[in-house]
Structure 1
Amino acid sequence: MSMTGQEMDNLFEKQSFWRNLSLFDWGWAGALILATAYVLQQYAAQMDVYELGILIGTTLSIIAWGWFWKPVRAYIVFVTLISLFSIYLYGNNLALGETNFFLKFLISSKSAIMWMSALYVLATVAYFIGLIIGSEFTNKTASAMTWSATVMGFVGLLVRWRESYLVHVDIGHFPVSNLYEVFILFSIITALLYLYYEGKSKTYTMGGFVLLVISAAVAFLLWYGFGSRGASEIQPLVPALQSYWMKIHVPANFVGYGAFALAAMLGVAYLIKDSMVKAGRNGAIINRFPDLDILDDVMYKSIALGFAFFTLATILGAMWAAEAWGGYWSWDPKETWALIVWLNYAAWLHLRLTKGWRGRPLAWWSVVGLFVTLFAFIGVNMFLSGLHSYGEL
């Protein structure tokens, strides 16, 4: 049976992909496989079949991620080395976090998260300075600070994971269990998504707008985590969260949230530039904004990516609910608002793909969509109660 021209093209593309993998690509895969084999040798007896599946799936995903986006390899290496150094310094004594210089001021979970927070705010300022004065050096400095902040944020989460076990083995848990932890996760994911599109579009001038929403998350994090609430302190998991589902449902959800936030801030940039151009105010600063076509394209790609992950997270959440509460869907306020968010972005993508909508209307929609998403993320916890009330403010 002969193949069609399209099938031959697809086969050729697949063969070309494998042929184009370099020695470094295979070395990357080999190093991760060896690291996973070591983890399995040390801890497989303490892991159930689901956790083994998550570990292997994560390894394969990171291998593919590093093949697809090569800059992330250095990021993962830095995060791994710093996290392991912090864990080594702790040993089995959590109290060293208050006496060891490196832990106290640099790489305990709280210190790393404070560095993350400071660097994100400084990067936001630097991006806007770079936009205003047109300085390539300032823009590159802002990008480097964003990378550094994202390293420290991920280090903070991984070290916090270890710290939770040092508090007590029964308290140890994957660090995405409360608003303090997930706001760190949100900041990291949104920054990584932005850095990917920054590299692909080869423009730094989107940075200030995207970093604004991350700085807002940092402000909330500092208020919520280090105030009188004591949310930064490690607490035992509530029974509803004591499940392997949390390790996959929550991260998938926050890829969606991060992508939607990124699209909304690019929508803001689009509306500002479009309004200024139509008003005839084509000053130097406006001319340094990204092209409207770039903003429109990245906004679309972000929402498409976010929608895919949010759909996956919703399916995983339904499966978790069936296991925990005996039913896939209960019209809990959190579930209902998740459905509203899903329908909102499904309609956005439908109008773009089938009706040819572009530009200003969808930019406005992406901005409004952020407020819908924000209510689903935080507002439900503040004003409504239900099965997900363990996440309330």
Structure 2
Amino acid sequence: MELAQPLIEQPFYKRLQLGDWAYAVLVLAAAAYSWSLYNHYMDGYEQAILAGSAIGLVALGWFWKSWRWFFPLAGAVALLGINAYHGELARGQTAFWLKYALSSQSAIMWMCTLFFLATGVYWAGLIARSGLLTRMGSGLTWAAAVMGAAGLFVRWYESYLIGADIGHVPVSNLYEVFVLFTLITALMYLYYEAKFAVRQAGAFVLLVISAAVGFILWYSFDRQAHEIQPLIPALQSWWMKIHVPANFIGYGAFAMSAMLGVAELLVIKGKLKDRLPAADVLDEMMYKAIAVGFLFFTIATILGAMWAADAWGGYWSWDPKETWALIVWLNYAAWLHIRLVKGWRGEPLAWWAVIGLLVTTFAFLGVNMFLTGLHSYGGL
């Protein structure tokens, strides 16, 4: 009898298909074009960030196939908006497509509307046990993410139309980072939704996104926070381009894990058990989200310390924002330790993840509202 020959997995590069290479060429060509236009405005660090971003986007597209259409589509929508300006910011108030769809504020308002609709449709699908409705919820979430990403790209361009000394990456104030938070949280959820085939969980994850959308709307209409402002001196640094996005991958992952924890607790208590995924599936999703969030939050904390040394001459000053970032880090480090070393699962860690959202929210928003320090520029 012949023994079965073990399967030998092909090297990674041999598993890449034509679509993978086409996507990589597109991203690298766009990066090269951007470098040819703007390299004389960029220092060595910013050129390195551009190169690293291009490589990262290629890797992400190879790892997550849906990204290969999402990112080019968001970029194409942003380019439509950018080209519609014809170099004149005033056209944003007169040109039809800019005023109602493609300016940064219009695109972000569409994002908000689509996220609200997605939340309602996901819940309708959950209650009615309708696969069609949950698929529609997924589609609306993807559409919201496209408009949110395009809105941030256009806002970046708009800031330079105001003035070369005003232009900056749109992650500098609470309005911009809340948009970033909703975008990152939605994209992370969509990845795990497809990986675990659990569209029903969207009803819970979209709740925290809709809460952030509610803040964006209040902050826009009550405080006029959507208006682009010059960067304060403390933020005029290339460090902002890498520290803030890494931080908000962490925040988004922690927020998503908390909502998955809520869903798991309901299943454990017998509520919606016949409509939601199994508790062990939700538990595994929660674990993976926290693991990814902890990795990026660690990177962001290290980058923040390096930025502090560059800006203020010391890596750590026990500023309230730094102190609460450390508390968040220790909280999730302990969570992962308990799960990986002690083997805890289920209800205790689900409750921990839910309570962890309160800690994270205070570090994200509460510190800006109630405490003062070196990071007080992020206040309401």
Relative to the length of structure 2, the TM-score reads 0.97
Instruction: Quote the Cα distance in structure 2 between the aligned partners of 1:49 and 1:377.
Output: 31
Greater mean alpha carbon deviation, residues 196-205 or residues 23-32: 23-32
Match of 2:230 among 217, 220, 236: 236
Match of 2:178 among 156, 176, 183: 183
Instruction: Quote the Cα distance in structure 2 between the aligned partners of 1:238 and 1:176.
Output: 13
Cα deviation for residue 169 of structure 1 reads: 1.4
Task: State the partner residue of 1:297.
Answer: 284
| Structure 1 residue ranges without an equivalent (≥5) | 1-8
- In the alignment, is residue 205 of structure 1 matched against residue 200 of structure 2? yes
Structure 2 counterparts to residues 70-89 of structure 1, below 5 A: 70-89=65-84
- SS of 2:306's equivalent in the other structure is helix
Cα deviation for residue 34 of structure 1 reads: 1.4
Instruction: Quote the Cα distance in structure 1 between the aligned partners of 2:193 and 2:228.
Output: 35
Instruction: Quote the Cα distance in structure 1 between the aligned partners of 2:128 and 2:363.
Output: 38
Instruction: Quote the Cα distance in structure 1 between the aligned partners of 2:38 and 2:231.
Output: 21
Task: State the partner residue of 1:21.
Answer: 16
Instruction: Quote the Cα distance in structure 1 between the aligned partners of 2:221 and 2:49.
Output: 32
- In the alignment, is residue 249 of structure 1 matched against residue 249 of structure 2? no
Task: State the partner residue of 1:99.
Answer: 94
Amino acid at match of 2:343: G
Amino acid at match of 2:162: V
- In the alignment, is residue 262 of structure 1 matched against residue 247 of structure 2? no
Match of 2:53 among 55, 58, 62: 58
1:137-183, CA deviations, whole angstroms, 9 ceiling, x for partnerless residues?
11111100000001101111110111111111111111000000000
Match of 1:382 among 360, 369, 380: 369
Cα deviation for residue 26 of structure 1 reads: 1.2
Instruction: Quote the Cα distance in structure 2 between the aligned partners of 1:34 and 1:117.
Output: 32
Task: State the partner residue of 2:268.
Answer: 274
Match of 1:132 among 114, 127, 146: 127
Instruction: Quote the Cα distance in structure 1 between the aligned partners of 2:121 and 2:82.
Output: 32
Runs (4 or more) in structure 1 with deviation over 2 Å come to none
Task: State the partner residue of 1:148.
Answer: 143
Instruction: Quote the Cα distance in structure 2 between the aligned partners of 1:150 and 1:267.
Output: 23
Cα deviation for residue 328 of structure 1 reads: 0.2
Amino acid at match of 2:339: R
Greater mean alpha carbon deviation, residues 254-263 or residues 164-173: 164-173
How many residues get paired? 374
Task: State the partner residue of 1:371.
Answer: 358
- SS of 1:185's equivalent in the other structure is helix
Alpha-carbon RMSD: 1.1
Task: State the partner residue of 2:345.
Answer: 358
Task: State the partner residue of 1:40.
Answer: 35
1:114-147, CA deviations, whole angstroms, 9 ceiling, x for partnerless residues?
1000100110010000000011111111100000
1:299-325, CA deviations, whole angstroms, 9 ceiling, x for partnerless residues?
000000000000000000000000000
Amino acid at match of 1:69: W
1:212-252, CA deviations, whole angstroms, 9 ceiling, x for partnerless residues?
0000000011111221x221100000100000000000000
- SS of 2:11's equivalent in the other structure is helix
